[in-house]
Amino acid sequence: MSSQWFKLFKKQGTVARQAHYDLPKDSYEREMGKEGFFGPVTHFYHRHKHTGWSDFEGDNRPRAFDTNELDETQTSPWQAPVLLRNKSTQIRMMHIRESMTRLVRNADGDELLFFHKGTAHLFCDFGHLVIKEGDYVMIPKGTMWRLEMENPCEILMIEATNSHFKAPDKGLLGPNAIVDTAVYRVPEIDAAFQGQYSEDRWKVVIKRRNEFNRITFPFNPLDAIGWQGDLMPVALNWRDISPLMSHRYHVPPSAHTTFVGDRFVVCTFVPRLFETDPKALKVPFYHNNDDYDEVLFYHAGNFFSRDNIHPGMMTLHPAGLTHGPHPKAMEKAFEQANQMTEEVAVMIDTRDPLDVTPEATEVEWSGYINSWSET
Torsion sign, CA atoms 166, 168, 174, 180 = negative
Question: Does any domain span residue 311?
Answer: yes
357 in Cβ contact with 83 (< 8 Å): yes
For residue range 14-38, list pLDDT tens digits in order.
999 999 999 999 999 999 988 888 8
Mean pLDDT of the chain, nearest integer: 94
59 is in an annotated binding site: no
Structurally, how many domains does the chain consist of?
2
pLDDT of residue 117: 98
Residue 123 and residue 62: Cα distance in Å, rounded?
Answer: 39
pLDDT by residue (tens digit) across 236-280? 999 999 999 999 988 988 899 999 999 999 999 999 999 999 999
pLDDT band at 307 (very low <50, low <70, confident <90, very high): confident
Q: What spatial distance separates the first Cα and last Cα of the chain, rounded to whole Å?
A: 52
Q: Are 242 and 210 in contact (CB under 8 A)?
A: no
CB contact set of 174 (below 8 Å; sequence gap of 6+): none
How much is the average pLDDT of 361-367? 96
- Please name which of 191, 120, 192 lies closest in space to residue 155, comparing C-alpha atoms: 120
* pLDDT category of residue 329 using cuts at 50, 70 and 90: confident
What is the domain range of residue 125?
A: 86-164+182-238
Does a structural domain hold residue 269? yes
Would you say residue 74 lies in a domain? no
| Mean pLDDT along residues 53-67 | 93
209, part of any domain: yes
CB 313 within 8 Å of CB 66: yes
- Same domain for 260 and 220? no
Same domain, 225 and 313: no
Band (304; pLDDT cuts 50, 70, 90): confident
pLDDT at 375: 66
The reported pLDDT for the residue numbered 363 is 98
Q: Assess whether 247 and 232 both reside in one domain.
A: no
pLDDT surpasses 80 at 54: yes
* 305 is a domain residue: yes
Q: Which CATH number is 272's domain given?
A: 2.60.120.10
Same domain, 231 and 247: no
With pLDDT > 70 as the criterion, what percentage of the chain qualifies?
A: 100
Residue range 325-346: mean pLDDT, rounded? 89
Q: What is the mean pLDDT of residues 119-144?
A: 98
Average pLDDT of the residues in 147-161? 98
Contact assessment for residue 168 and residue 258, using Cβ atoms and an 8 Å cutoff = yes
Catalytic residues: 250
Identify which of 32-36, 221-225, 290-294, 323-327 has the greatest average pLDDT.
Answer: 221-225
Is residue 23 assigned to a domain? no
Q: Are residues 248 and 149 in the same domain?
A: no
Identify any residues that bridge with 122 across adjacent strands, giving them in sequence order. 129, 147
Tell me phi and psi for residue 170, to 5 degrees: -95, 0
Query: Is the same domain home to 273 and 223?
Result: no
State whether 136 and 208 are in the same domain: yes
User: What pLDDT was estimated at residue 169?
Assistant: 93
- Is 48 part of any known ligand binding site? no
pLDDT tens digits for range 179-204: 999 999 999 999 999 999 999 999 99
pLDDT (0 to 100) of residue 362: 97
Asked if the model's pLDDT at residue 231 lies above 80, the reply is: yes
Residue 11 domain-assigned?
no
C-beta separation of 160 from 139 below 8 A: no
Average pLDDT for 201-217 = 97
Three-class secondary structure assignment of the chain: CCCCCCCCCCCCCCCCCECCECCCCCCEEEEEECCCCCCCEEEEEECCCCCCCCCCCCCCCCEEEEHHHCCCCECCHHHCCEEEECCCEEEEEEEECCCCCCEEEECCEEEEEEEEECCEEEEECCEEEEECCCEEEEECCCCEEEEEECCCEEEEEEEEECCCCECCCCHHHCCCCCCCHHHCECCECCHHHHCCCCCCCEEEEEEECCEEEEEEECCCCCCCCCCCCCCCCEEEEHHHCCCCCCCCCCCCHHHHEEEEECCEEEEEECCCECCCCCCECCCCCEEEECCCEEEEEEEECCCCCCCCCCCCEEEEECCCCEECCCHHHHCCCCCCCCCECCCEEEEEEECCCCEECHHHHCCECHHHHHCCCCC
Q: Is 310 annotated as a binding residue?
A: no
Region 99-119: mean pLDDT is 98
Q: Is the pLDDT assigned to residue 374 strictly greater than 80?
A: no
In whole angstroms, what is the distance from residue 72 CA to residue 113 CA? Answer: 19
